[in-house]
Chain A
Amino acid sequence: MAVPVAFFAVFFAYPVAAIVRRGLKDDGAWHVGRIADVLGQSDIRHVLWFTTWQALASTALTLLVALPGAYVLARFDFPGRQVLRAVVTVPFVLPTVVVGTAFLALVGRGGLLDELWGLRLDTTVWAILLAHVFFNYAVVVRTVGGLWSQLDPRQEEAARMLGASPLTAWRKVTLPALAPALAAAALMVFLFTFTSFGVVQILGGPTFSTLEVEIYRQTSEIFDLSTAAVLTIVQFLAVGAILAVHAWTVRRRETALKLVDASLTARRPRGAGQWALLAAVLATIALLLLLPLAVLVQRSLTAPGFGYYRALTDADGGTFLVAPIHAIGASLSYAAAATAVAVVVGGLAAAALARRDSGRIVRGFDALLMLPLGVSAVTVGFGFLIALDEPPLDLRQSWMLVPLAQALVGVPFVVRTMLPVLRAVDVRLREAAAVLGASPWRVWREVDLPMVRRALLVAAGFAFAVSLGEFGATVFIARPDNPTLPVAVARLLSRPGDLNYGQAMALSTILMVVCAVALLVLERLRTDRSGEF
């Protein structure tokens, strides 16, 4: 418990406090009234309203589109299921910049739909919503489907025998069991879309602006730090409130579930209805998730002889001090370090939170852990930049700065993934181990760990992917001679010219491939290990 608390105090609370101080403190005096001033502006109120409703709409749309996918991937057994599971996760780990660009290439001016039917969505909110569904499809499939695949189907059968129709059985038995995961998934999607930055920046144009984009605009374009700080505080409070409510509802609903081996619950689809469902889900995945990426790859190959790719090895472009290709190595090592930190910190926090006798303070920490998700990544990066560059803590020269910022963003994923499974471990199994002579630490290692290894691997995969694609924070603190992949992509995109655009496409394609490979390795690992169960 002490480790996560200290980690958050130093790398989260301290930088945020530094920003707040810079924003609200002037000439040694506090100006809290500024909050009311800023909120009184009609354009800011408009931004708040848009941020909220687009997040709600995106969440609803994502659940609608992704729940059938979660069901199909959890309960149906078909060739290529493992691969497909990894495939749907890839969009989630792509940097927001790349997603925005891919959708621009699909629905924007001169995009694929424009070429085919003259259809353009980039000036409407639909482009943003679609990109958000693209992004968060995996959140629902992973979080809900992961639990779904381990629910004992006999529970539903028991309800059927008691006279429940298939729909009633699902509603009364499966849905309540899924509720914690469903709530967790909906919350994650809402948070991501509430704090959406890159996607809205690119697809929103001048019309649509979220709180996050506004904070960025105030910071980097208008240099109005105090308004940015006030907006950060507003976002902080809103997200804190949502998280507190969520922690409360989840705690009320979570019960010890009867989990079974996932491989036992999946079976071949039967009947026309189930095959049609499978086909519909596959079609959705193909159109919504694969098509934008395919367009992205296609645009990266438009130069003859892999021209854009060959240009990446060339340091003379002037955009960076090193050839863009070096960003791959830097990204991988940063992400590995960030994953290690996130898994240790998040694992310890989840273990502490899973104890049923945990006190009020520990439970409050549950909500606190999620805050880095709600506070904009831009804020985290900016906070690092201004807080950790001077004594007592000067990490500006340390390579650990980037992994630490990325780990901060990764920890909530680890906690969210681990906690439902940890809480579902039967407490009497732990007691059985204790009576046989296992100390609390051994109990964790011998009982909890083997049962949550799957969740732990998924959590590590998430943390790795998030670190790899992290952009908002990293862009502030990555050194020019050592950029990560998303930072390199963004810099290339910000420069004019077909070569830079093509190189950005090529580099994003590489990033996509790296993520896909990492996830496929992880899926492989999962199936190997689950053979023990």
Chain B
Amino acid sequence: MLLGLQAATVRFGGRAALDAVDLAVAEHEIVCVLGPSGSGKSTLLRAVAGLQPLDSGRVLLDGRDQSGVPAHRREVGLMFQDHQLFPQRDVAGNVGFGLRMRGASKGERAARVGELLDLVGLPGAGARAVAALSGGEQQRVALARALAPRPRLLMLDEPLGQLDRSLRERLVVELRELFGRLGTTVLAVTHDQGEAFALADRVVVMREGRIAQSGTPLEVWQRPADAFVARFLGFENVVEARVEGEAAVTPWGKVPVPEDAPQGARSLVVRPAGVRLVPTDEGLRCRVAARTFQGTHVAVHLQPQDAPRLEAACPLRSAPEVGDEVGVEFDPADVVVLG
């Protein structure tokens, strides 16, 4: 394992920002830590970088304990949330900074800076002032700066956080391609699940300083570990339920569940695609409270009587209007009974 955390704990006052976290990252792996703000994901990066001392536990790099190794000797790269480019240096001065700290010669530096600027799609930008760069360009320069000293582990803190959506989506693809080509080991943190799923080989969901779930994007998406993870991933239809055989008793009435579903008191998720609209005299009677256009489908928010709201994904043509009364049935293929 390239990076290992063993029972890593950081406390701020009485609160544990990292609570006995165990995590391992293999070489060439891209791991994305996903969590709401305050979940401890940034503290995790700072602890690995050596910017935040651990209260207990260990950080291992290449199997060696890093306690007592200061940040500047850990040879890891960190791309900060808002980039933190050095304002008084030009682009080349920023990208070449790490190399200069390691005593690289001028020629070596110039060659590597040129190479990296080509790599991130800013050829010839070396002499530009960082203040004159756009947000996307700053992000590229920050990436080039972090990559230049060839860190054994590259860490990204909300790498695309401040960029606009279309740019973000394009850059995720670029980053994924780039890291695959370079074989970089990456540990990124983000609060955006779309970003995490698009970028990562493995997603780690954090909650209140602990790891709530770890798995491939597909695993996490298909089988969220608990109601928190499911809600954080954007699933709205999460309720407490009692599973008995092939059906579950929920506030929405009886919901059919897959055959192998675990029994007893559980959390239950219905994906929006599994909420089918039927005539009002069939199924659960609901009123359409809101509808939002999502491009490929319409998300319809349904208000049953005396039960939590439901979100349904409807094809563009057959979506009901706000105020309509509809009936609802559930498709067991899109119902997930949580661990």
Contact = CB atoms under 8 A, between A and B. Distances in A.
Interface of A: 261, 426, 428-429, 431-440, 442-443, 446-447, 450-451, 532-533
Nearest to A426: B84
A438 B101 contact: yes
A434 to B, nearest CB: 4
Interface string B61-94: 0000000001111111110100010111100000
B267 to A, nearest CB: 39
Contacts of B145: 436
Given A428-B80, A446-B97, A435 B86 contact: no
Given A431-B51, A432-B80, A437 B88 contact: no
B126 interface: no
A450 B101 contact: no
Given A436-B97, A436-B101, A451 B88 contact: yes
Contacts of A433: 86, 97, 101
Contact of B76 (A432, A435, A447, A533): A435
Contacts of A426: 84
B98 interface: yes
Contact of B51 (A435, A440, A450, A451): A435
B78 A439 contact: no
B49 A437 contact: no
B101 A435 contact: no
Contacts of B87: 451, 533
A435 B71 contact: yes
Nearest to B101: A437
Nearest to B142: A432
Contacts, number: 70
A426 to B, nearest CB: 7
B71 A431 contact: yes
Nearest to A438: B101
Nearest to A449: B88
Nearest to B46: A431
The 9 A-B pairs with the shortest beta carbon distances in the complex, nearest first, are A437-B101, A436-B98, A434-B71, A432-B84, A450-B88, A435-B78, A434-B72, A438-B101, A437-B72
B102 interface: yes
A437 B102 contact: yes
A261 B131 CA distance: 10
Given A434-B71, A435-B78, A436-B98, A532 B84 contact: no
B149 interface: yes
A181 to B, nearest CB: 21
A50 B237 CA distance: 77
Contacts of B77: 435-436
Interface string B213-227: 000000000000000
14 contacts: A428-B84, A432-B78, A432-B80, A433-B86, A433-B97, A434-B51, A434-B71, A437-B101, A437-B102, A438-B72, A439-B101, A451-B87, A451-B88, A532-B88
A434 B71 CA distance: 6
Interface in B294-308: none
Nearest to B78: A435
A451 B49 CA distance: 24
A435 B72 contact: yes
Given A442-B101, A446-B97, A434 B84 contact: no
A446 B93 CA distance: 11
A459 to B, nearest CB: 18
Contacts of A440: 70, 72
A446 B99 CA distance: 13
Interface in B135-162: 145-146, 149
Nearest to A450: B88
B68 to A, nearest CB: 15
Contact of B98 (A429, A437, A439, A451): A437
A231 B306 CA distance: 82
A532 B145 CA distance: 20
A434 B70 contact: yes
A533 B89 CA distance: 8
A450 B87 CA distance: 10
A437 B149 contact: yes
Given A431-B71, A442-B101, A436 B149 contact: yes
Task: Kindly name the residue among A428, A429, A434, A533 whose own CB sees the greatest number of chain B CB atoms within 10 A.
Answer: A434
Contacts of B102: 437
A532 B73 CA distance: 30
Contacts of B98: 436-437
Contacts of B75: 437
A433 B72 CA distance: 8
Contacts of B73: 437
Nearest to B45: A435
Contacts of B89: 450
Nearest to A261: B131
A432 B75 CA distance: 12
Contacts of B51: 431, 434-435
A446 B89 CA distance: 10
Task: Kindly name the residue among A432, A532, A533 whose own CB sees the greatest number of chain B CB atoms within 10 A.
Answer: A432
A436 B101 CA distance: 7
B219 to A, nearest CB: 32
Given A431-B78, A440-B70, 10 more contacts: A426-B84, A429-B86, A432-B78, A434-B51, A435-B76, A435-B78, A436-B146, A443-B72, A450-B88, A532-B88
B156 to A, nearest CB: 12
A19 to B, nearest CB: 45
Contacts of B71: 431, 434-435
Task: Kindly name the residue among B73, B89, B101, B145 whose own CB sees the greatest number of chain A CB atoms within 10 A.
Answer: B101
A132 B131 CA distance: 42
A79 B70 CA distance: 50
Contacts of B49: 431, 435
Task: Kindly name the residue among A435, A443, A450 whose own CB sees the greatest number of chain B CB atoms within 10 A.
Answer: A435
Contacts of B78: 431-432, 435
Nearest to B74: A435
Task: Kindly name the residue among A429, A437, A439 whose own CB sees the greatest number of chain B CB atoms within 10 A.
Answer: A437
A435 B88 CA distance: 18
A311 to B, nearest CB: 51
A215 to B, nearest CB: 47
Nearest to A431: B51
Contacts of B88: 450-451, 532-533
Contacts of B50: 434-435
Contacts of A431: 49, 51, 71, 78, 80, 84
A438 to B, nearest CB: 5
Nearest to A443: B72
Contacts of B72: 434-440, 442-443
A407 to B, nearest CB: 29
